[in-house]
Structure 1
Amino acid sequence: MSLSALAINCTLKASPAESSCELMLRKVLRALEQEGCTGELLRAVDYNIKPGVYSDEGDGDEWPPIRRKILDADIFVLGTPIWLGHPSSICQRVLERLDAFLGETDAEGRLVSYGRVAAVAVVGNEDGAHHVTAELFQGLNDVGFTLPASASTYWTGEAMQKTDFKDLDETPATVQQATQGLARNCVHLARLLKQAQYPGS
């Protein structure tokens, strides 16, 4: 059975600039090829992908043919670098355009994306701790907590190693500083709120 894959590189760098994400995706496609799947690689920033959440955002939008390639492929691989603990802005735009699938069904009433496999490839110089923090911040804020400035502390070890935070001989100075800042700002804000609570409904 022949299979096809489409990989989209969401680097911020236009071609022909070198891209770590592109190298990673080429390795993914090479591995897929070894398993009998042919692949194609696109660099999203090279196209005029207009902002929006529809499959076609009008004149000049180059997303529709990319969308068609995604739906024609059996496997979709989305690759992004990490920037400030998040996927790239280009990746976010691709995801927003994929949102249109939620309103598109086939003759059987299934989403048009059904039956296709997806995978993700990520490169970056951190393990995503900032992203995790952002996720938690949003959840806490949703349920009513107030977040002071610098309300996080974290430690990330060397990639692919087994050392845990508990295995360190001493806490790194940067972690100590972040922890102290967290405590200081939390106490400050708690005092302010105790003196001037939020207004009631």
Structure 2
Amino acid sequence: MTLKALGLNCTLSPSPKPSSTEKLMGQVLDALGQLGVATDSQRVVDLDIKPGVTHDEGDGDAWPALRKRMMEADILLIATPIWMGQPSSVAKRVLERMDAILGDIGDDGRYPTSGKVAIVAVVGNEDGAHHVTAEIYQALADVGFSIPAGSSAYWVGEAMTDTDYQDLPGTPEKVAQTIKTLAANAAHLAKVLKKDNYPVP
């Protein structure tokens, strides 16, 4: 059984600027890849994702194509920095656009995301990783994604300093272990749900 994962890098920095969020997202995707999961990624800020809560906000909106990639994946990874104790505005734009899924309940009573798994990765130089994770996971659960057991993968540096995750000489042991566990749990849950989705209510 081949699983697919899509990582959405919700950094505020457009390509090709360096991104700590990109580094952590890449590590999680690499861990999934080691488990046989096919991976893909997108730096969302590079696309013109228009504001709104529908699947298509008109001419030039890049969301429909990104949504198609998301719906083709078994695992969705949202990676975001922390700004002012919050997920990035890019991450919030992604969640807002997912609101349209609430109108997509099928005749079987399920969302089209039923059976899909979502995970989160967070980086920052301030406290708030658990808060950011909670906000994103709640929104993803609301629109039908399943959340695997365990923590999100996150790193927060000392507050009010200039040290970025991408500048660390190596990955902290606890972060590396969390990445490994998160990937294993996500792949396992996705495999279970792909084989035997939730029952029709």
2:123/2:129 contact within 8 Å kept:
no
Q: Distance in 2 between matches of 1:101 and 1:35?
A: 29
Letter in 1 for 2:72: D
Q: Distance in 2 between matches of 1:157 and 1:60?
A: 38
Q: 1:35 to 1:97 in 2, by over 3 A?
A: same
Residue 106 of structure 2: aligned partner: 106
1:6/1:77 contact within 8 Å kept:
yes
Residue 90 of structure 1: aligned partner: 90
Q: CA deviation digits over 1:92-131, x for unaligned, max 9?
A: 1000001111111234231111110000000001221895
Structure 1 runs, 4 residues or longer, greater than 3 Å off: 129-132, 156-160
TM-score by length of 2: 0.64
Residue 122 of structure 1: aligned partner: 122
2:122/2:129 contact within 8 Å kept:
no
Structure 1 stretches lacking a partner, 5+ long: 136-155, 161-201
Letter in 2 for 1:7: G
Structure 2 stretches lacking a partner, 5+ long: 136-155, 160-171, 173-201
Q: Distance in 2 between matches of 1:85 and 1:97?
A: 22
2:5/2:39 contact within 8 Å kept:
yes
Residue 62 of structure 1: aligned partner: 62
| Count of equivalent residues | 138
Secondary structure, in 3 states, of the residue corresponding to 1:118?
A: strand
Give me the CA root mean square deviation. Answer: 2.4
Give the share of equivalent positions with the same residue, in percent.
57
Query: Higher relative contact order at CA 8 Å, sep ≥6: structure 1 or structure 2?
Result: 2
Q: Distance in 1 between matches of 2:106 and 2:119?
A: 23
Residue 76 of structure 2: aligned partner: 76
1:75/1:118 contact within 8 Å kept:
yes
Q: 1:120 to 1:36 in 2, by over 3 A?
A: same
Shift of 1:31: 0.1
Give the alignment of 1:14-29 within 5 angstroms.
Answer: 14-29=14-29
1:84/1:130 contact within 8 Å kept:
no
Q: Distance in 2 between matches of 1:130 and 1:63?
A: 27
Letter in 2 for 1:23: K
Q: 1:98 to 1:20 in 2, by over 3 A?
A: same
Q: Distance in 2 between matches of 1:68 and 1:55?
A: 10
Residue 45 of structure 2: aligned partner: 45
Q: CA deviation digits over 1:120-162, x for unaligned, max 9?
A: 0000012218959xx9xxxxxxxxxxxxxxxxxxxx99699xx
Q: CA deviation digits over 1:69-108, x for unaligned, max 9?
A: 1110000000100001101111110000011111112342
